[in-house]
Amino acid sequence: MVGVMRRYSRRGDLWRVTKKVDLILTRRVARTEPIVSNTEHPVHRIDVRMDTQQIQALVRDYEAGTETSELQHMYGLSKGSIRKLLADAQVVPHRQLVPSDVAERCVAFYNAGLTIREVGSEVNLPKSTVRGLLLRADVTMRPAQRRR
């Protein structure tokens, strides 16, 4: 009951919630047969679910070039769990590479006079990504224009 109170203590309808919880608890006590679950509770902690060998195999697969989405299916983990395991193993994350033809189009559009924001909307990339592509391509940057 304390856990429930702690969880819902900021709710405006706390009184109603406590009454519902009390009703549920009294119904459980009133039952004659014991409440027994045949299934065990699933373990959610990654470090408990996976042993060190499995984690090392995941790290090896990632370093071999396997994408995160494929690792999700292989190991049955969420993307956040995989990223946490890789971070704990001090693995440097892969950069998502932009195809070279898209980078060339960005340079061409920018040299044609489009702003970085306009180039980004043309190739469907964020402004910061386009700017990074242009800097890596050693394009001479124009002064930023003020938005109106």
Alpha-carbon gap, residue 20 to 27, rounded angstroms: 11
Confidence of residue 27 (pLDDT cuts 50, 70, 90): low
Return mean pLDDT, the chain: 80
More confident of the two residues 97 and 55: 55
Ramachandran area for residue 27 (φ above 0: left; ψ -120 to 50: alpha; else beta):
alpha
What percentage of residues in the chain have a pLDDT greater than 70? 76
More confident of the two residues 34 and 17: 17
Is residue 123 within 8 A of residue 109, CB to CB? The reply is yes
| φ/ψ (deg, to 5) at 45 | -70, 130
What is the pLDDT at residue 96? 74
